[in-house]
């Protein structure tokens, strides 16, 4: 879980993306928050950002959580042909930017009726 402090309201918001296969929080690996120049760290090692930036990361984490849940569901319960289609979608998504990656995969899963 990653804590964000809103520098406008002083509210603390927790954002996470849990890999259902492992239970691990992988938000920092996925969203590369540390490279965002609009965010800083406070003395408690919480990220500090404005409302718009926090809303962006909440939206992105929600999309990523959806992708992780869908991938897990397909890999666990889908027939082999659907799993093969998923692997192709995931391979094709490798070149996408962080902002577009989750949307591309969700669209591919939906278009191919994998769930």
Looking at the DSSP assignment, which residues form a beta bridge with residue 18? 25
pTM confidence score: 0.87
Query: Can you tell me the distance from the alpha carbon of 96 to that of 102, in angstroms, rounded to the nearest whole number?
Result: 9
Question: What are the boundaries of each domain within the chain?
Answer: 2-111
Q: What is the DSSP letter of 14?
A: E
The label of the residue with tokens 């191919």 reads: 112
Note the pLDDT of residue 20.
96
pLDDT the model gives residue 61: 94
Whole-number pLDDT of residue 5: 93
pLDDT of residue 84: 96
Q: Which string of b and e fits 2-33 if b means at least 16 CB within 10 Å?
A: bebbbbeeeeebebebbbeeeeeeebeebbeb
Name, in order, each residue with C-beta under 8 angstroms of 69's C-beta and a sequence gap of 6 or more.
20
Per-residue pLDDT of the chain (115 residues; tens, 9 = 90+): 889 999 999 999 999 999 999 999 998 888 778 778 889 988 888 899 999 999 999 999 999 999 999 999 999 999 999 999 999 999 999 988 888 999 999 999 999 999 8
Q: Which residue's structure tokens are 């278009």?
A: 111
User: Distance of CA 96 to CAs 61, 62, 86, 89, Å?
Assistant: 16, 18, 16, 11
Which pLDDT score is estimated for 101? 92
How high is the pLDDT of residue 4? 93
């Amino acid at each position: 879980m990653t804590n964000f402090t809103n520098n406008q309201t002083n509210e603390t918001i927790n954002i996470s993306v849990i890999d259902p296969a492992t239970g691990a929080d992988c938000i920092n690996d996925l969203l590369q928050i540390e490279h965002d120049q609009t965010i800083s760290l406070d003395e408690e090692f919480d990220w500090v950002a404005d409302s718009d930036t926090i809303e962006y990361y909440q939206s992105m984490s929600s999309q990523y959580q959806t992708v992780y849940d869908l991938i897990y569901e397909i890999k666990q319960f889908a027939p082999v042909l659907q799993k093969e289609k998923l692997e192709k979608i995931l391979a094709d998504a490798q070149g996408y930017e962080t902002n577009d990656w989750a949307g591309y995969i969700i669209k591919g899963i939906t278009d191919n009726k994998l769930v």
